[in-house]
Amino acid sequence: MSLLEIKGVEARFGGVVALAGVTLDIPEGVIFGLIGPNGAGKTTLINVVSGLVKPTAGSVTFAGEDGGPWPIARSVSRGIVRTFQQTRAFLGLTVRENLRIAAVSSPDPSCIEELVDACGLGPVLDRTAGDLPYATLRHLGIALALALKPRLLLLDEPAVGLEAAQVERLGALIRRWHASGITVLLVEHNVRFLMEMSDRVAVLDRGAVLFEGTPAECQERQEVIDVYLGRRHADAAH
Amino acid sequence: MMLELLPQQLANGLALGSTYALVALGLTLIFGVLLIPNFAHGEFYMLGAFVTYALVATGLNFWLAMATAVVLVVLIGWIVDRVVFQPVAAAPGHDSGGHGSGLSLMISALAGSIILQQLATIIWGTEARTIPAPMTGMVRTSLFTITYLQITIIATLAVAWTAVWLVLHRSRLGLAIRATSQNRDAALLMGISMTRVRLATFAIGAALGAVAGALLGATFPIYPSMGVNPVLKAFVVLVIGGIGSLPGAIVGGLVLGMVEVMVAGYGSSQFQDIGTFLILVAVLLIRPQGLFGRAQVER
Amino acid sequence: MTGSNSFPRTVIAASAVFIASCAVALQLNDYYLYVVTIGAIFAVLAVSFDVLLGYTGYLSLAHGALYGLGAYSCAVLTANHGFGFWTALPIAGLITGAVGAIVALLSFRTRGLYFAVLTLGIGLIGHQLFLVFDEVTGGVGGFVGIPGPEQPDWLRVSPTAYSALLALGLLWVTFVAAAAFVRSKLGAACLAIREDITLARALGIRVAGARLAAFTFSAVFAGLAGALFASMSNFIAPESFTVLGTGFQLVALVVVGGMGTLWGPIVGAILLTALPEALRVAATYSLLAYGVLLLVFVIFAPKGIASLLKAALKSFRKAPRPAPDATPLRREVTS
């Protein structure tokens, strides 16, 4: 059964069409990968689903409930939680304070202890977030989102800028939480990482869904290869 | 009621509005180009009036005194930028977002404003003074009477506006200033010298404020805290006219001047200032970003 | 997941300091008692103002007028309507809190510079209203004959000493209330708003409610401080509640003392209010000193005296053992 149904979502900013009628079904319990070239509308789609940007047309159904997308606070209370592309944490505060803030709207603050272990934040609890190494900061950003006990986690390019070993640790972290019952919508430029992680994949191009299916199917489709030709080779060489 | 007074009110409003527009022009330039909320702009205006006053008191001709005051206030403007704003902009963590730059710039602007005010108080005391009017006489028509001084003020706005427009649109420096106001990072990449842009912007802004202060000081009493209301009104004008929009500053200033004179004329002068600030509150409530506000203002 | 100092320990420490300062205050002559009273009232203003400025990140210039509203409310209630001080005090706090909440609802429609300008405008309107409604407020001449706070028979101290004890007591209440506020979920939400409002929203923080609470909190205590000020002075005039007088002083107290700490603003209030009084500096020079100090701190130590003391303490403690992660100083200044 699908957890999130995106129906005909359109988003225009002035004359620019960021999303031109996107329809996607995201089944409960999957890791759903979303790829596409720059400007394809991936982040806009996350912004719409999480309630940060109002779509000009279309609707969202979540867990059988119609009437979405909801304003961001109500999305969070329904269990739709996102991370940001340029990892966002409260940079001027310590890691401990960051987690205290996440605990404010967490339905189960006791889960934070476990998160601290899983995300490797124990040794840096009293350090200022702005001083953390990049990869640790990325884990903190994800920990803040996971603290809210999401049913659907929207990850916006979590692996960008990370080294191979760090990407692997990140993948393990995502899998671990996915296994505990979280559905994940993963937007990622790193195609190899995305294909490894995802149960299903959709390709977005110029605001429309170009393809949807399993990773294996996706890699065989000519139009996807066309859209991604340069990038895939670059990533493979990586 | 009293409709026959309307042309006279309009004439008075035009003159008052012209001084508001002069102050707002400088404020909007500094804010639009450098993103500095210069609360101390009112003190440029106040110092323009007091330096003119001091020089006239030594026997200098009013116009020479005003010209000297403009030069001095431009120098003070540069010092204020160097001492008050640049160190904050350069401070560590300035661009780290969140708590961010806006708050510390506003606080340092407040500090600068208070320092200049108190220095003026120490030099000149708190009692109100007047600059002897540089010209007397007036034009009488069947509808209204307007003094030569009022005509001069309105003409000054026209001249100042033309001069600023020519600098911005017909000189290389003006191009650099406009480029900076559009996109500071891109301007830097194009090799535009931020130092020159800052100096020029502060010079123009301070000069406009000083001229307005000297001219208004020849009409109304002057005192060290005289800059507070005009700068706030200039912020109102900015909001009405749109941040960084020079025509907006002029139109907004004139409109505000006329509204105030009308409120004072037909209502009560007690409520003149309250009326202004109610307009401010109303505009901000209807359009929280200002009537023509740009998104970057929220930084 | 609380900070390093637990709430009970903070309350105990605050109580100890309160009792000690009361004991010291009772040894002072009338002039110094007056200084203590004024210093404590400004500390009340500063601590509660810091909940808004330091913890939530909003610069309000309307608080001079809110302080005045509390003062005039108390004056009118006690002098004109025969209320006792102890009834008038909470009512003044409630009135100011309610008006503050309305001001907040209006002002939070804007942000950054516009917020400051809007609250500045509201502060100026407030000050003008004190002048315009002279039938109620006494206008420029001021409000004369406000009854002092009733003193219980068993407390055999002079009225001046009683005022000082009341001011210190109000400061203790303010400090404890503020400490409870910033440790609460609302306080954490306020920090989140200050640091990154978009991320705060994305984490499901109720932004509107939290910042409204912070503003209202500061308004209530500004009203209580104003009420006490009116009652102990017996006389108030609009000049005590100007934007550039009180409103600006508050900003200076908090920034110089240390934004985002609760004891920093108290240090700021002692340094900037009590000290000039005690040294009898002319008002002009003390405002000038405020301006210069504010500028120096914004540029060189934006987190105020509190951050300097903390850094000094840390380096003092750290000196014997090698630092495990060596970035403490920069962190203090920039965070």
Q: What is the pLDDT of residue B191?
A: 75
What helix, strand, coil percent values describe chain C, rounded to 5?
Answer: 75, 0, 20
Q: How many C-beta neighbours within 10 Å does residue B235 have?
A: 31
Nearest to B13 by CA among B144, B129, B138: B144
Phi and psi for A34 in degrees, rounded to 5?
-130, 120
Least confident of A223-227, B44-48, C79-83, C166-170: A223-227
Q: Where are the alpha helices (DSSP H) in B218-289?
A: 228-241, 246-266, 272-286
Q: Is the pLDDT of residue C1 over 80?
A: no
Q: Does A85 touch chain C (CB under 8 A)?
A: no
B183-215 residue pLDDT tens: 777 777 777 788 888 898 899 999 999 999 998
Q: Give the DSSP per-residue string, A26-47.
A: EETT-EEEEE--TTSSHHHHHH
pLDDT tier, A226 (very low <50, low <70, confident <90, very high otherwise): low
How far CA B182 is from CA of B35, B178, B179, B273, C82, in Å, comes to 11, 6, 5, 34, 61
Q: How many Å apart are CA B144 and CA B137, to the nearest integer?
A: 14
**What CATH code is assigned to C4-319?**
1.10.3470
* Interface contact A93-C2, CB threshold 8 A: no
Q: Where are the alpha helices (DSSP H) in B85-183?
A: 86-90, 100-124, 148-170, 172-182
Cα separation values, A14 from A11, A18, A38, A54, A208, Å: 10, 10, 19, 13, 18
- Residue-averaged pLDDT of chain C: 86
Q: How confident is the model over B231-279, as pLDDT tens digits?
A: 878 887 877 777 777 888 888 888 888 888 887 777 666 676 777 777 7
C325 contacts in chain A (CB < 8 Å): 127
Exposure on the CB side of residue C52, measured as CA atoms within 13 A? 31
DSSP state of B205: H
Residues of A in contact with B96 (CB under 8 A): 91-92, 130
| Stretch 235-294 of chain B: residues touching chain A, C-beta under 8 Å | none
pLDDT at position A65 is 84
Tell me, yes or no, if A93 comes closer than 8 A to chain B by beta carbon. Answer: no
- What's CA C218's distance to the chain center, in Å? 7
Terminal-to-terminal C-alpha distance of chain C: 20
| CB within 8 Å: B96 and A90 | no
Determine, for residues B112 and C291 on separate chains, whether the beta-carbon distance falls below 8 Å.
Answer: yes
Q: Does domain A1-64+154-159+188-238 have CATH number 3.40.50.300?
A: yes
B58 vs A: CB within 8 A: no
The C-alpha of B288 sits at a distance from chain C's nearest C-alpha, in angstroms, of 5
Does the distance separating the beta carbons of B92 and C333 come in below 8 Å? yes
Euclidean distance between CA atoms B264 and B271, whole angstroms:
7
C122 CB within 8 Å of a chain B CB = yes
Handedness of CA A72, A134, A201, A43 (dihedral sign): positive
Residues of B in contact with C294 (CB under 8 A): 107-108, 110-111, 114
Cβ–Cβ of B277/C124 closer than 8 Å? yes
H or E stretch including A2? strand A2-13
Contact of A193 with chain C, judged by CB distance below 8 Å, is answered with no
What values do phi and psi take at A152, rounded to 5?
A: -125, 120
Mutate which: A43, A86, A101, A131, vs C, most C CBs within 10 A: A101
Rg over CA atoms, chain C: 20
Within its chain, how far is the Cα of B6 from the centroid? 27
Q: What pLDDT, on a 0 to 100 scale, did the predictor assign at position C180?
A: 95
Mean pLDDT confidence for B32-55: 90
Percentage of chain C exceeding pLDDT 70: 92
3-state secondary structure of B288: coil
Would you tell me which residues 77-106 of chain B have a C-beta closer than 8 angstroms to some C-beta of chain A? 93, 96-99
C209, closest residue in chain A (CA to CA): A73
Look at the block and give the residue holding tokens 């909440």: C101
For A:156-195, CB contacts with B below 8 A are none
Would you list the domain boundaries of chain C?
4-319
Asked if C248 is an interface residue toward chain B (Cβ–Cβ < 8 A), one would say yes
Query: Quick check: B41 and B210 in contact, CB under 8 A?
Result: no
Is the Cβ–Cβ distance between A156 and A45 less than 8 Å?
Answer: no
pLDDT at C332 over 60: no
CA distance B195 to A113: 51
A89 touches chain C (CB under 8 A): yes
State yes or no: cis peptide before C238, omega within 30 of 0.
no
